[in-house]
Amino acid sequence: MFNKRYFGKGKEDGGPGKEEEEHVESLFTVLKHINSFILSDYVPWLRPLDLEGHEKIVSEAMRILNGYHDPIVDERLKQWIEGKKKKPEDLLDAFILAKDSNGKPALSVEEIKAQCTELILATIDNPSNAAEWAMAEMLNKPEILQKATEEIDSVVGKNRLVQETDIPKLNYIKCCARESFRLHPIAPFNIPHVSNSDATAAGYFIPKGSHVLIGRRGMNPNIWDEPLVFKPERHLKDGWGSGGVELIENELRFISFGVGRRGCIGAGLGSVVTIMLFARLIQGFTWDAPPNETEIDLSESKDDLFLAKPLHALAKPRLPDALYTQLEC
């Protein structure tokens, strides 16, 4: 978004610092409450009471996020106005330079700030969750991990890192990510929607004004063979087109980023982030379960659909040393 990588200030290992940890924690706080139940959504006059305390929590999280984002946006705008910046390099620049049909700025400063936060929120949870679950499942099935590694070696080799231009050819990698989205979505339901007219969908009559929740998991045995088993091969099929396998599920047999007019605005970016993160982890290292553990515990958390225990694995470099200075997963 901002064309800058942030490392922990003063930390010897270059790991996340206080600012990064606070930023990510605030992002996930907002995302958690987007999907939570709140009574005032159904009884609006209760909203001023904030019975669950959600509004206070989210307001504080947004205050922290805006405190990090807004100065970056303001400084970048100043650079363009003063002529210190002349070439667009990231999404923030694209928002600043966007013009309407009359050649005027398409977005106000507040709209630019909102779009930046919206896209960051839209792309942080799905990719990280999908990559972690996929790695956990594949560590328990070494033959799948080996097949994914061989595909990367065949398409990319070991003398350079996976690039975005390689993604159309990494179909098995994308199948593994799709299977992770199918089995382990970030939340059990899609964000609530309200029908603005009477409609019939999938054989169900939906009256105007209905709140609609769509299940994200692809567990229906009438649609999926062995629905509880991690089987990436199930997604290999003809008819994907020149770009190969896609992470978006257009037939809604499960939900990754959603589809249609109300689909996730960050679906394209989220797909790229997911595959780049996932593919570089597999390309860069050989992976094994931690010492004294025969397999990874795939239990779900009691409060959400994340792994109950954060994934720990043993990684050993498998590429030339010089490439690891470029590996930014």
Element (H, E) at 167: none
Show the CA angle centred on residue 30, arms to residues 210 and 215, nearest 5°: 40
Angle formed by the axes of helices 267-284 and 109-139, nearest 10°: 40
Position 128 scores a pLDDT of: 87
Distance, CA of 94 to CA of 87 (rounded, Å): 10
Position 329 scores a pLDDT of: 46
User: What topology is assigned to 122-329 in CATH?
Assistant: Cytochrome p450 (1.10.630)
Position 319 scores a pLDDT of: 93
pTM listed for this prediction: 0.82
**Amino acid identity, position 152:** I
Distance, CA of 215 to CA of 212 (rounded, Å): 10
Show the CA angle centred on residue 91, arms to residues 31 and 306, nearest 5°: 25
Binding-site residue positions? 264
Position 214 scores a pLDDT of: 83
Per DSSP, what are the bridge partners of residue 189?
215
Any idea how long the chain is? 329
Q: How many CB atoms lie within 10 A of CB 138?
A: 25
Position 142 scores a pLDDT of: 95
Q: Where are the domains of the chain?
A: 1-107, 122-329
Q: How many CB atoms lie within 10 A of CB 247?
A: 23
The residues of the chain scoring below 50 in pLDDT are 329
Binding-site residue positions for heme? 264
